Amino acid sequence: MKRRFLLIIVILFLTLVCREKENVIQKDYPIKPVPFTEVKLKDNFWLPRIETNLKVTIPFAFKKCEETGRIDNFAKAGGLMKGKFIGRRYNDSDVFKIMEGAAYSLSLHPDPELEKYMDDLISKIAAAQEEDGYLYTARTIDPKNPPPGAGKERWSNLGSSHELYNVGHMYEAAVAYYMATGKRNFLNIALKNADLICKVFGPNKRHGYPGHQEIEIGLVKLYRITGEEKYLKLAKFFLDERGRCKFKKQFSSTSPFSIYNQPWYMQAHKPVVEQREAVGHAVRATYMYSGMADVAALTGDKAYINAIDCIWDNVVSKKLYITGGIGARREGEAFGEDYELPNATAYNETCAAIGNVLWNHRLFLLHGDAKYIDVLERTLYNGLISGVSLSGDRFFYPNPLESDGKYKFNQGEATRKPWFDCACCPTNICRFLPSLPGYIYAYKNGIIYVNLFVQSEANIRIFNKKVQLIQRTNYPWNGRIKIIVNPEVPLDFEIRVRIPGWALGKPVPSDLYSFLDHAIEKPRLKMNSQIQPLHIVKGYAIIKRRWEKEDTIELELPMPVQRILANEKVKADRGKVAIQRGPLVYCFEGIDNGGKVLNRFIPDDMKFKVEFHPELLGGINVLIGESKKEKLIAIPYYAWSHRGVGEMAVWLPRK
């Protein structure tokens, strides 16, 4: 009788556990992005950049990792060659980020030679992994003499060691490679390492958190692949430790790492659910907010969502550059105070722009509001792609909004550089660009979202039926968009087409910036050549109908040249204007304006005309402004610093 009773108890317990696990797995973002592998670009703006990333940037970055010893560090740690650790303690992460980008590229363009290179590199990483799963070449090569900041022992200096940050990028790369090839060679390395960290850290184990967030995002990706709840729980554990786990000062006040002594720098000044303002290192912050969004989506934690919503309001209302850049301060690569947005000394790290895109995309997936895509688009077309040259082998680390051609803002140079000792930005570009098609479309419960305007073909499943979308456009150079809808059978569903905030009179979804001229032409929408009223909900024009093959949506977004004013609380921009057309912010370079722009101004009566120059900077719209007193030429901000060192400004005085 007792045995039978115990058996019933065990069965009930296992049933509850299985149901709990099933419920966790079923929770997710209410909106799903259409995978980048289901979107084929045929676009004159983005496709060349993605192809350059594949053919130039990724091979170039791998070569630089070979030349600088980053790849040799794995061979040394694995006993495949002799030698000391070379470089910084976080250099493993650079290799992992390039590998992630290579995996995405393999998903789109199978390449046996690149795949073999990856497999050979994975073999070196496997050799570098210690028997229990630990992977950190900075310690394994010479455990008694680790590089500065690594800590004397494992996990002893989490604030600066990057032990957890590095492997977070490895998890992302391993998942990407598994998805691209079906091979488990890299994934098994990642899982072995994650299992070790799960054994070491937890509520009744070792406490602590990474100084640089990233492992949280990687752990969630491992959870999605395996369904193992321990990875999701560990991601949440690391987030919840911040502001609760005792903060340990690790460096003297004279140490170059002394900023790690400040809990706000790594967003550990309060528990994450109590944070309401963006502070500290901007990349760490956006990675944390992205990780919080992932965990919130998968667990239903509303306190997480409330926190990142409030922080987003703070950034968009008080800490966002007109280019979408974030992180005003060079010191600590950090957010400044509210409205602290200097131009010449603006930091705006390229990695922070990528983090801003990752975070805003996740907020859209949570809330379904176009305002997040508005910020994403502004960052994407301006402060993000400015970080890589058109040739694909020169990079910006900071992205200032003004230059005198002399101030060395870019780790020693006033122009793009081929590489950096801290090479996080070039390697981040490698992994981001191939994933871009995954940001264009999304879907949920009989709704398709068209978020970005990129000439492409996408396959989306609605009610288990295939729907093909064909988008034709020359965006961002003009605002004409045609979307052809081809369901496999006539089907009732809804399409939501984003109407950008800039087309409705709002540069950003706050009062941080405004247009000088509010009398702008309104967007026009047609359905099968018939003009439709604009029914806009959360920034989307909603079209609900029974769709049949060749049904066609046409959207016309007027693109006047618009003057932008900053909030009066932004001291750096008082009395000045910036210029925007469509999603693109423009700047003035000395080479187009007699060598000088910092002493120029934009009169209110200046008229701008638009000219397309196919031979200039990959083909761009040039803005030519004329008035009685001035003549100015402007180019898109992302394209500056390709024609030598000189003056540049985004904001100029009105008169």
Could you give the CA distance from residue 305 to residue 295 in angstroms, rounded to a whole number?
A: 9
- Running DSSP on this structure, what letter comes out for residue 569? T
Q: Tell me the backbone φ, ψ of residue 456, rounded to 5 degrees.
A: -165, 170
Place of tokens 């009685």: 628
Beta partners for 388? 395
User: Cα 41–47–49 angle (5° rounding)?
Assistant: 150
| Residues 577 and 507: beta-carbon distance below 8 Å | no
SS3 assignment for 402-427: EECCCCCCECCECCCECCCCCCHHHH
Tell me if 369 sits within 8 A of 538, measured CB to CB.
yes
Contact 387, 635 (CB under 8 A): no
Per-residue H/E/C for 286-343: HHHHHHHHHHHHHHCCHHHHHHHHHHHHHHHHHCCCCCCCCCCECHHHECCCCCCCCC
CA atoms in the 13 A half-sphere facing the CB of 250: 22
Pairing of strands 491-498, 540-547: antiparallel
Q: Report H helices in 182-211.
A: 185-200
Q: Is 545 helix (H, G, I), strand (E, B) or coil?
A: strand
Q: How far apart (Å, rounded) are the C-alpha atoms in residues 331 and 327?
A: 10
Is 325:346 a contact under the CB 8 Å cutoff? yes
Distances (CA, A) of 160 to 70, 133, 150, 210, 391: 19, 21, 7, 8, 34
d(CA 517, CA 603): 14
Buried b (16+ CB within 10 A) or exposed e, 59-68: bbbbebbeeb
Q: CA-to-CA distance for 655 and 647, rounded, in angstroms?
A: 19
Coil, strand, or helix at residue 178? helix
Provide the b/e sequence for 453-467 (b: ≥16 CB within 10 Å): bbbbbbbbebeeeeb
Active site residues: 333, 424
Residues 6+ apart with CB under 8 A from 396: 350, 386, 387, 388, 410, 416, 425, 641
